[in-house]
Amino acid sequence: MLAAKKKPAAKKTPAKKKAAPKAKKAAAKAKKAPAKKAPARKAKGPSEKTLKELHLKMVRIRRFEESAGKMMEDGKIPGALHLYVGQEAVAAGVMQHLSNQDWITSTHRGHGHLVAKGGEFKPMFAELFGRATGYCKGKGGSMHISSMDLGMLGANGIVGGGPPIAMGAAFSNKFRRNKNVAVAFFGDGASNEGSVHEAANMAALYKLPCIFVCENNGYGEYTAQSRHQAIVDVADRAAGYGMPGVICDGMDVMAVYEAAGEAIERARKGGGPTLLECKTYRYYDHVGVRGMGLNYRTDEEIEAWKKKDAIEGFEKRLKQLGVMTEKQIKTVHAAVEKDVDEAIEFANESPYPEADTLLDNVYNEKGA
Ligand SMILES: Cc1ncc(C[n+]2csc(CCOP(=O)(O)OP(=O)(O)O)c2C)c(N)n1
Ligand SMILES: [Mg+2]
């Protein structure tokens, strides 16, 4: 845990240094502390409120995605869905540090990012169902869902399409002299795209408040990372851009929370961008639940990653820390499940957009 590791990049980052003493201190305090309560965590680490919010975010993503997957397989959702199940800790850990004034750009696997950014289930399901009550009035769907109010600049069907947009948003933050940041999420596959290199280069050059979060799930579609790039750690590339590269365990929400917190804080203070690589895994196939039945990874590999499940691991920890009981955890799951059911009903009953609104809100409000 707290596995933030700095790659030997251009600048020093405190990520590595801070993680170790913190862990040592916590361990020392835990030794002294009586078993009943958890004063060590209260004194230094994130508050109970933060821990519960991180948990809720992950549960909301998982439940949303599991249900969306079923809906797609049942033919209720047109088009393809790329499920985020397995990667929840990344979205939750990063988004915990952001407000609605901070921008994010997402990917084709974007529902988890929007849920963690505060997206509500009703307009999300409605969008996936193509209904007028959706976030984009039913015209964006899974891969172009966005919400300007929440600072979510959009999912993106173009691999590597997000980082240049986030870099531009970060530039506007700097230009306006505010303290907001922009976070670009992208995959290991996307890390090979020219657009990502161009965005990272400019962000470093202008010291923009931009954080590049690579969710390295080991595959680009059905191609293993070892077959699409000659490096193991995408964070190695940070040195070439002139920014710190940090690696963290993307299955550990606290590790992501810590590493992202440092990168975001540095960006807010004018310290420039960071490349944060989160090692993670997607449980389902590239698209949908059943997938294409292609033989590109083993069941053993999937099972090994599931043993590190971010939600189960964190729930164990919350119980050990005395932050939540099993009963409270079950209550959270049940409440989220209810939210999902209500949202699906809402989406099902919502109207499709009217034909004469076809060109509204699509590109140019005036239709010119
Ligand atoms: C520019 C572009 N090239 C190719 C594709 C087809 N494509 C869709 S998803 C994907 C793999 C992306 O892999 P990664 O960035 O690792 O994201 P992951 O699917 O693992 O989340 C590819 C090649 C695309 N949508 N856009
Ligand atoms: Mg990938």
Per-residue pLDDT of 40-54, as tens digits, reads 444 578 999 999 999
155 C-alpha to ligand 1 centroid (Å): 12
Q: Once rounded to an integer, what is the mean pLDDT over residues 60-66?
A: 98
83 C-alpha to ligand 1 centroid (Å): 13
The preferred substitution site among 159, 188, 280 for testing ligand 1, maximizing ligand atoms within 8 Å of CB, is: 159
Query: Which listed ligand is nearest to 216 at the C-alpha?
Result: 2
Per-residue pLDDT tens digits for 279-319: 999 999 999 998 888 999 999 999 999 999 999 999 999 99
Instruction: Collect residues with CB below 5 Å from ion ligand 2.
Output: 187-189, 217, 219
Query: Residues 259, 261, 267, CA angle at the centre, nearest 5°?
Result: 105
Checking 138-146 for CB contacts under 8 A at 24+ apart, the result is 138/352, 138/353, 139/353, 139/361, 139/362, 141/78, 141/79, 142/77, 142/79, 142/80, 142/81, 142/82, 142/110, 142/111, 143/79, 143/80, 143/82, 143/108, 143/110, 145/110, 145/111, 145/114
Greatest Cα-to-Cα distance within the chain, rounded to the nearest angstrom = 70
d(CA 13, CA 6): 7
Q: Once rounded to an integer, what is the mean pLDDT over residues 129-145?
A: 96
Cβ neighbourhood burial of 247 (10 Å; 0-12, 13-18, 19+): buried
Residue with tokens 């801070």: 18
Flag whether pLDDT at 5 surpasses 80. Answer: no
Flag whether pLDDT at 22 surpasses 90. Answer: no
* Token couple for 115: 């849920």
Nearest CA residue ID for atom 22, ligand 1: 221
Per-residue pLDDT tens digits for 208-262: 999 999 999 999 999 999 999 999 999 999 999 999 999 999 999 999 999 999 9
**Mean per-residue pLDDT of the chain:** 90
For residue 116, give Cα distances in angstroms to 36, 61, 202: 32, 7, 27
The preferred substitution site among 106, 185, 221 for testing ligand 1, maximizing ligand atoms within 8 Å of CB, is: 221
Closest-lying ligand 1 atom to the alpha carbon of residue 188: 16
pLDDT in the model for residue 365: 55
d(CA 1, CA 248): 9
Residues shown for the chain? 368
Task: Give the rounded percent of residues in the chain with a pLDDT score beyond 70.
Answer: 87
Flag whether pLDDT at 7 surpasses 70. Answer: no
Q: Once rounded to an integer, what is the mean pLDDT over residues 109-133?
A: 98
216 C-alpha to ligand 2 centroid (Å): 5
pLDDT in the model for residue 193: 98
pLDDT in the model for residue 27: 44
pLDDT in the model for residue 90: 99
8 close to 239: Cβ distance less than 8 angstroms: yes
Query: Residues 274, 104, 162, CA angle at the centre, nearest 5°?
Result: 80
114 C-alpha to ligand 1 centroid (Å): 19
Q: Which protein residues touch ligand 1 with a CB less than 6 Å away? A: 107-109, 157-160, 187-190, 217, 219-221, 286
Kindly indicate the confidence band of residue 29, based on its pLDDT and cuts at 50, 70 and 90.
Answer: very low
Q: What is the DSSP letter of 90?
A: H
User: pTM for the complete prediction?
Assistant: 0.89
Q: Which of the pair, 149 or 41, is modelled with greater confidence? A: 149
Closest-lying ligand 1 atom to the alpha carbon of residue 217: 20
60 close to 115: Cβ distance less than 8 angstroms: yes
> Which residues neighbour 325 within 8 Å (Cβ) at sequence distance 6 or greater?
319
> Which run of H or E residues covers position 225?
helix 225-228
